[in-house]
Amino acid sequence: MDAVTNFNGHVKVKLTQAGWDIINKQYALLNERVRARGGEGHFTFDNVDEEGYSRFQIWDLMNRFGDYMRPGYLEPFHGEMIFIDCQVQEPAGKPPDKSGEV
């Protein structure tokens, strides 16, 4: 089974401690930049549901963690990724299953 979505679609992942460290550094830098321009800079990442999943648009997940997705780095999130509202279809190049046809 294939699932179709685009980079604006959403996924849910469970962040590891390494992922939380990355997110916290990103928000600390954001707050530092906001304060340098006279703002208050109180941004935090609180995007976690009751099951421990954080929701991201796919492009945002790639942008935040892409540099850390390589051999030798601690994984920023666990391997399971839940795609939200994608369209399920037959795999490309596979003929439709007609076993139930009469």
Rounded Cα distance between 41 and 47, Å, is: 18
**What is the count of structural domains for the chain?**
1
* 75 located within any domain: yes
Residue 62, domain member (yes or no):
yes
pLDDT tens for each residue of 13-23: 999 999 999 99
Identify whether 65 is part of a domain: yes
Query: Domain containing 64: what range?
Result: 2-87
35 part of a folded domain: yes
Query: Is residue 38 assigned to a domain?
Result: yes
Is 69 inside any structural domain? yes
The pLDDT confidence band at residue 37, using thresholds 50, 70 and 90, is: very high
Give the confidence band of 52 by pLDDT, cuts at 50, 70, 90.
very high
Q: pLDDT confidence of 28, banded at 50, 70, 90? A: very high
Distance CA 13, CA 76 (A): 10
- HEC sequence for 25-75: HHHHHHHHHHHHCCCCCCCCCCCCCCCCCEEEEHHHHHHHHHHHCCCCCCC
Report if residue 22 sits inside a domain. Answer: yes
Given this model, what pLDDT does residue 11 score?
A: 96
Nearest-angstrom CA–CA distance, 66 and 86: 22
C-alpha 50: how far from its chain's center? 17
